[in-house]
A and B are shown apart, each in its own frame.
Chain A
Amino acid sequence: MQGTIACHACDLLVDVSELKTGQRASCPRCGHSLTRIRKDAHSKVLAYSVAALIALVTANAFPFLSFASSGLESVMTLPQTPAMLWGNGLPMVAILVAAFIIYIPATVLVLLILLCMPLRGERWRPWLKPVGRWVFTLQSWSMVEVFIIGVIVSLVKIMKMATVTMGLSFWGYVFFAILFTMAIAALDKYQMWQEIEALEEQRG
């Protein structure tokens, strides 16, 4: 059954063997999007992932927000955000927050690089399969875009109490979120596995 996908949403068999670069296929019965062949997908994923990692490092290195009232000032940094929850008796929430906004997305980016470097060079690597299995599962637990909305809501909540300033890290995180989303969007699960399979066959 080469070139056929069973729709993940409704199980209908759909022939995608005729799909060309730049085209996308969706299920004729339920409309679920099936696969898409992107031009230079691997180069795009690599570029966005590397840039996103740099932006994430920036987001961790500087003040994120600062809050000033009656001559007093407090500063929030990204790594300190889960740490403060831990310090206030909620270690479980601290771990979840750190994972969703920093560690899971960072791991996904590293995995994307590990995948797309050999795929772009059409070289077989023993880690391709395990990394391919993990990358999409982990991705579904990243919450970078949700965190940005959280920042905006927080700002509105406290704007009237004091002066709030956005630091360099805030903008770093916004860039990181955009690049992260673009990196993920550039990789197609079905096409990726077709390529991994082809590389494995070539090797053997």
Chain B
Amino acid sequence: MAEVEGSTAKSEGLASCHTCLKLVPEDTHTCPRCGSAVHQRETDSLQRCVALLITACILYIPANVLPIMYTDQLGKTEASTIIGGVVLLIKLGSIPIAAIIFIASVMVPSGKLIAMFYLVWSVKSHSQLSPQQRTVMYQVTEFIGKWSMVDVFVVAILVALVHLGGLLVIRPGFAALAFAGVVIVTMIAAEIFDSRLIWDQLEDNNDNSAT
């Protein structure tokens, strides 16, 4: 078959099915192979992505301010937040685990939000980073998305495990719901962001310089 190196599906008037990767003419609405809806680029990718990112930012506040779990010990109740959990682990001397939790529950969710905002902005303006670098940034963001659920799972496990009558009981807090919301909404935002838009800029620039 002909050499296709260097041209994109879009520049050839084609669209790639998101579900089955079949190449179809760009005016196709339904994929003839798998029956999914076909879009050359994710519809309103940037707008929907930003809306979800803002939702995640809003949910991020209760996720950090409200207690994620309560410890009832001998009649006393102690509420702990996500940051509080990290501080406690440092006090207990578990520095490596404290580092893991700090990275997973503080740096990853906030870093992901910042990275996604940056990527959306970069599609609309001139970025210092190459498309290659931004693609890697996007893929890393997409890959680590689900790992932030660790905190929610830890709460689930501790609640199920630690219930010793009046001696020691662990109960979940509403931050667990807000935090799960942050993780899920950010995962959907990453899914909706169309990384091909980053590369479309390159094509547009080539077109401009050619003419």
Instruction: Name which residue of chain A comes closest to B142, CB basis.
Output: A140
- Measured in the bound complex, the distance between the Cα atoms of B167 and A136 in whole Å is 45
Are A85 and B156 in contact (CB-based, < 8 A)? yes
| A93 in contact with B8 (CB, 8 Å) | no
Report the contact-size class of chain B (Cβ under 8 Å from the partner).
35 or more
Q: How far is the CA of A13 from the CA of B147 in the complex (A)?
A: 32
Interface stretch among A53-61, A110-118, A141-149?
A: A141-149
Given contacts A81-B157, A153-B150, contact A13 B7 (CB under 8 A): yes
Q: With a CB–CB cut-off of 8 A, which chain B residues contact A12?
A: 6-8, 199
Q: Which candidate, B10-18, B54-62, B119-127, is the interface stretch facing chain A? A: B10-18
Question: Which residues from 173 to 204 on chain A have a C-beta closer than 8 Å to any C-beta of chain B?
Answer: 189-190, 193, 196-197
Inter-subunit contact B135/A32 (CB<8 Å):
yes
Say whether B152 faces chain A, with CB atoms less than 8 Å apart: yes
The reply to whether B131 and A92 contact each other, CB–CB distance below 8 Å, is no
- With A and B bound together, what is the CA distance between A4 and B14 in angstroms? 11
Q: Check A133 for interface membership: any CB of B closer than 8 A.
A: yes
Q: How far is the CB of B31 from chain A (nearest CB, A)?
A: 10
Is the beta-carbon distance between A80 and B4 smaller than 8 angstroms? no
Task: Report Cα–Cα, A129/B191, bound state, in Å.
Answer: 22
Q: Does B118 contact A (CB under 8 A)?
A: no
B89 within 8 A of A: yes
Q: Is residue B159 contacting chain A, with contact meaning CB distance below 8 A?
A: yes
Q: Which A residues lie within 8 Å of B16 (CB)?
A: 5-6, 8, 11
B43 to chain A, nearest CB (A): 16
Q: Is the pair B33, A197 in contact by a Cβ cutoff of 8 Å?
A: yes
Q: A191 to B132, alpha carbons, bound, how many Å?
A: 26
B5 CB within 8 Å of chain A: yes
Q: For B160, list chain A residues within 8 Å (CB).
A: 76-77, 80-81, 83-85
Q: Mark A1-23, 1 if CB is under 8 A from B, else 0.
A: 11111101111111101000000
Which B residues lie at the A interface, using CB under 8 A? Answer: 1, 3-10, 12, 14, 16, 18-23, 33-36, 85, 89, 92, 94, 97, 100-101, 131-132, 135-136, 138-139, 146-147, 149-150, 152-165, 167-168, 171-172, 174, 176-177, 180, 184, 191, 195-196, 198-200
